[in-house]
Amino acid sequence: MTVTVIGLDRQGLPPGAGSVLAQARLVVGPKHQLDRHVTPDKETLDSSGGLPIDEVAHAVGPTVLLVSGDPGHFGDLRALRARKLDVIVWPTVTDVQRMAALVRRPWDDITVVSGRGRDFQQAVNVCRARQAVAVLTAPGAGPAELARELHGWRRNIAVLEQVGTPAERLSILDVTEAERRSWQEPNLVLCLASLDGIGDDSWFSGGPVVPPVDGWALDESAFATRSGVGIAPQVRALALAKLAPRPGALVWDVCAGSGAIGIESALLGAAVIAVEADSGLCVRIVANAGAHGVDVRLADGEPSRVVPTLPRPDAVFVGSSAPEVVRACAGAGAARVVVLVPELDRLGATRRALADAGYAVGGCQLSVADLVELPGDGIGVAPASSTFLLWGVRA
């Protein structure tokens, strides 16, 4: 038994597809496509709620699957191939391509994510981190829900409603208005930092390359700060390794200082919120984020007061061992917490705070001594600086 998969755009069936439908014993597809293209004498299955893969796999005789957009682009082709079914594919233009064309936006740098099911929060974080993201939506994870999660980030939302139907409509609005609206399904969202932007010319499709070309654990000179505020690159490297920032994750950088940890997390693809009470350092965080071309949301104020108001993180870096700050961050529900502890006498209390919050705790002492050039091609060692890192990981 062969399944013929036909991709549909707004124009309807591609040339020649009518004869394939005429020979089919079973036709599977979204209800609006079945009503539009299939005669009443055919056996049909509605796939609006998801592909009925078992019924398709056990069908007898020629079967046709109608798919809105390209079946090979976040479509049903993967599920059919995974069941080792014999397939013939008729592709078409993807809905993302069509939507990008409608807003006159080159789409080679648009990141495409699925917001369906348990992937929704990861899709939200990609929208928080990147400049142009297309989101494949689902009931309960649509434009209004996405817009609600984007408050605090400067984003515009383009929504294509009733995708693939004659009633298809494009709307462009800010997140506040998008949250208030009721949206017709099926729909597709394009989340943009700038409506007029055209993106950077790149050799790599799908958004910024991670990790960045200059690597990570950048030199301290890469971040404007003030005397006594900063984290040695060697310490930052281990902290980043334990935080595991990546696309789809949200990282808090608490007591952020210059914002170096948060900015480097953003360069590695994560969405980032920097929390800092010092107004002078807040200015530097904004400037540093702009200099590195990343979008870091700033939450200014006392951390123990601010962090309960923030979206739940995947990882938290705490640049202070103050007990109230550590307890607030440990209770945020992140999978990973990393705490910088300069003071030996606070190690025990910090470790207990993490353990009491349900973390398996590890840590180390880090001593950093830079090499320095001496006259006559000699090499010396600068005075060492020492600190402690503790990290907690949830099972």
pLDDT at 296 over 90: yes
Residue-wise pLDDT tens digits, 231-242:
999 999 999 999
pLDDT at 381 over 90: yes
Supply φ then ψ for residue 274, to 5 degrees: -100, 130
- The answer to whether residues 134 and 158 touch, using CB atoms and an 8 Å cutoff, is no
pLDDT at 200 over 90: no
Name the nearest CA neighbour of 185 among 160, 150, 149: 160
Q: What is the pTM of this model?
A: 0.92
Residues in the chain: 395
pLDDT at 225 over 80: yes
Q: How confident is the model at residue 395 (pLDDT cuts 50, 70, 90)?
A: confident
Residue-wise pLDDT tens digits, 78-99:
999 999 999 999 999 999 999 9
- What are the residues whose beta carbons fall under 8 Å from the beta carbon of 77, sequence distance 6 or more? 5, 71, 87, 89
The stretch 297-312 carries a mean pLDDT of 97
Q: What is the pLDDT of residue 294?
A: 96
Q: What is the pLDDT of residue 228?
A: 86
Q: What is the pLDDT of residue 191?
A: 97
Q: What is the pLDDT of residue 12?
A: 84
In the sheet with 250-254, reading across from the earlier edge strand, the strands are: 296-300, 271-276, 250-254, 315-318, 336-341, 385-393, 360-368
- The answer to whether residues 192 and 158 touch, using CB atoms and an 8 Å cutoff, is yes
Residue-wise pLDDT tens digits, 94-139:
999 999 999 999 999 999 999 988 889 999 999 999 999 999 999 9
Q: What is the pLDDT of residue 164?
A: 81
Residue-wise pLDDT tens digits, 62-81:
999 999 889 999 889 999 99
178 half-sphere exposure, CB direction, 13 A CA radius: 28
Take residue 375 and report the two structure tokens written for it. 């006259």
pLDDT at 13 over 80: yes
Secondary structure (DSSP) of 218-257: --GGGS---TT----HHHHHHHHHHH---TT-EEEEES-T
What DSSP designation does 12 have?
Answer: B
Tell me how far apart the alpha carbons of residues 219 and 292 are, in angstroms, rounded to a whole number. 13
Q: What is the pLDDT of residue 153?
A: 96
Name the nearest CA neighbour of 110 among 196, 204, 173, 178: 204
Q: What is the pLDDT of residue 117?
A: 82
Quote the percentage of the chain above a pLDDT of 90. 88
Q: What is the pLDDT of residue 116?
A: 87
- The answer to whether residues 198 and 42 touch, using CB atoms and an 8 Å cutoff, is no
pLDDT at 60 over 80: yes
Residue-wise pLDDT tens digits, 29-42:
999 899 999 999 99
Name the nearest CA neighbour of 382 among 367, 395, 393: 367
Q: How confident is the model at residue 9 (pLDDT cuts 50, 70, 90)?
A: confident
Residue with tokens 């009518």: 18
Q: What is the pLDDT of residue 1?
A: 79
- What are the residues whose beta carbons fall under 8 Å from the beta carbon of 48, sequence distance 6 or more? 30, 31
The stretch 168-189 carries a mean pLDDT of 95
